[in-house]
């Protein structure tokens, strides 16, 4: 992903609300599965890491991205933005 594409995705994610929260139980298989399904439906999602989660948000972002074959767009504080392109005929976001 180029820096121009990353900047475009950051702009799209700026007004999004987090659709998942990772809490003290950290990254469970259920959370991973839910993120996988959300990426399939929306392509770009935002995840919030709660204060009671002991794990580092950057490490969590890398793990989730690896498990879901997504890319980490950005991690700001306790917010993670992930992107995974949809199938070619069903893409919702067209990168520049």
**Does residue 54 sit within a domain?**
yes
Read off the pTM. 0.90
**Does residue 19 sit within a domain?**
yes
For residue 41 the two structure tokens come to 């439906």
**Does residue 26 sit within a domain?**
yes
The answer to whether 49 and 81 have CB atoms below 8 angstroms apart is no
- Domain extent at residue 19: 3-87
Q: Return the CATH number at 59.
A: 3.30.110.60
**Does residue 74 sit within a domain?**
yes
**Does residue 92 sit within a domain?**
no
Please list, in sequence order, all residues whose beta carbon lies within 8 angstroms of the beta carbon of residue 7, skipping any fewer than 6 positions away: none
pLDDT exceeds 80 at position 88: no
**Does residue 40 sit within a domain?**
yes
**Does residue 44 sit within a domain?**
yes
How many domains would you assign to the chain?
Answer: 1
**Does residue 57 sit within a domain?**
yes
- Taking only the tens place, the pLDDT of each residue in 35-61 is 999 999 899 999 999 999 989 999 999
């Amino acid at each position: 992903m180029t820096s121009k594409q990353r900047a475009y995705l950051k702009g799209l994610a700026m007004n999004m609300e987090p659709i998942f929260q990772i809490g003290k139980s950290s990254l469970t298989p259920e959370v991973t599965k839910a993120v996988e399904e959300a990426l399939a439906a929306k392509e770009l999602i935002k995840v919030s890491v709660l204060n009671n989660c002991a794990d580092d948000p950057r490490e969590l972002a890398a793990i989730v991205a690896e498990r879901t074959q997504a890319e980490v767009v950005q991690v700001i504080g306790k917010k993670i933005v992930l992107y995974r392109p949809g199938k070619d005929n069903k893409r919702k976001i067209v990168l520049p």
